[in-house]
Homo-oligomer: A and B are copies of this chain.
Amino acid sequence: MKISIIGGTKGLGNWIANFLKNKGFNVTITGRNRIDGENVSKRLGVKYTPDNIKAASQADLVILSVPIGVTTETIREIAPYLKEGSLIMDVTSVKEEPTSVMNECTPKGVEILPSHPMFGPRIRSLDGQVVVLTPVKRGKWYQKVLDFLEAENARVIVTTPQTHDKMMSIVQGLTHFSYICIASTIEKLQIDIKESRNFASPVYSLMLDMIARIVAQNPYLCYSIQTHNGYIQETHEAFLQTFKELKEMISEGNEKEFVGAMSSAAKHLDDLEAALGRSDKAISALTEEIRLLKDSVGEEVGLRHIYSGKIHIGILKDLTPNFAILDQDKKEIKLKLSNVEVLSDVELLKWKIESFPKKTYDVSAVFPDNCDPEVISNTIKSLKGVVTSSVLGIYSGNQITLGKKSVTIRYSVIDPNIRHEVENLLKGFGGLIR
């Protein structure tokens, strides 16, 4: 199957190209910048052409991943050239406009499947990710795409373009937009955010982090969503109206109305108890980790970088509000607390076993004839620090007292000192080391 990705050199289009190439598909990408295109083509091992029409006309599946602002003109550009029996999909964050333009311009015999993958290009697999589909009709391609996504463990939501855009006007038009306004107001009032964090609780701190997260998004994408979703204007109006009303209740001293409005808004939200429970958990996950580290100063800790996955192991020398300082073989390293997570003892041990060179030793000991070498080997394996252990041989001939046998165990360790513990175990049960 030939797949063409219109706008595959950057962002999500690029992610899709890489993902589908790795799944074994024959992928062609397009993009206006020829140098970028050829670089990506080489890096991912996909074909590149700057010609959207050429790419679209040869493909069984065309995926449109261009900025929202040029989506409809790109649909109009390529639609007449789509192959009979092929499928066109888009991945735009609004759905009404692209769906209706695809419907209008695409020749008969071409299936249309508008979509909105609700994730960014940082993810590694589709596992658990939400993909919204707004099919015009559920044809054979629809089923194929659905099966593919479900096999990848994605959470597929099938709905209408209207419902999608209405919901997004809340997610992005109301919450994201308000968050941006909060951040912009903080800037306007020249408030020192760092200072304000000192005053308040972990709840407030996480609130600020969530605001920062939204405000740090690509502002161009954010702008196009705000301008291309037909429901957002109404949402902004409704928010503005509500804010004015509540503000007036405060300035006029109208306690009864304010309390009524707040209680009623709380009731309209879904399960408040669950919301409290989840946010409590999120907050305590952050504070618990700090508590854990506080108790580990002077001890060995393992810290995993949450983005790179790199693991740092060392003696925790000091802990400041923002950094952990590790002593690592006389070298001191400073790690930002927000970017690392603490490994549990089990994880730390597992990592050491996987990462450090192991040394293998053989040990022979004489035990009564009725002993079970497998039990002896398994007991050695259960010692902390022993990585593997197995029975290498059993011997009971010359040199060995009658009624006894010699058992040889081969085991591996990271720390050679563990050898003493192995020998102490064998001697402890009356074994004679040979």
Contact = CB atoms under 8 A, between A and B. Distances in A.
Interface of A: 118-119, 128, 130, 132, 157, 164, 166-168, 170-171, 174-175, 177-189, 191, 193-201, 203-216, 219-220, 222-223, 226-227, 232-236, 238-244, 246-247, 250-251, 253, 255, 258-259, 261-266, 268-287, 289, 291, 306-307, 322, 336-339, 341, 344-346, 367-372, 374-376, 379, 382, 424-425, 427-432
B250 A244 contact: no
A222 B261 CA distance: 12
Given A168-B199, A430-B371, A430-B429, A184 B265 contact: yes
Contact of A430 (B200, B210, B287, B367): B367
Contact of A185 (B214, B242, B432): B242
A15 to B, nearest CB: 16
B213 A276 contact: yes
A417 to B, nearest CB: 17
B183 A268 contact: yes
Mostly, the A contact residues are helix
A208 B246 contact: no
A81 to B, nearest CB: 30
Contacts of A212: 266, 269-270, 272, 275-276, 279
Given A167-B196, A213-B203, A281-B286, A185 B336 contact: no
Given A180-B246, A236-B247, A275-B208, A186 B262 contact: no
Contacts of A208: 175, 269, 275
Nearest to A220: B259
A353 to B, nearest CB: 17
A246 B181 contact: yes
A220 to B, nearest CB: 6
Nearest to A266: B215
Contact of A259 (B223, B253, B268): B223
Contacts of A371: 427-430
B281 A285 contact: yes
14 contacts: A128-B291, A170-B196, A183-B265, A183-B269, A189-B235, A208-B269, A209-B275, A209-B278, A212-B279, A213-B276, A215-B262, A226-B250, A346-B346, A375-B428
A195 B431 CA distance: 68
- Smallest CB-CB A-B distances: 10 pairs: A375-B428, A368-B430, A285-B285, A277-B338, A371-B430, A212-B275, A274-B338, A187-B268, A429-B429, A282-B282
B178 A182 contact: yes
A119 B247 CA distance: 25
B174 A270 contact: no
Nearest to A287: B128
Contacts of A425: 375, 379
B262 A164 contact: no
A287 B129 CA distance: 12
Contact of A431 (B198, B429, B432): B429
B375 A429 contact: yes
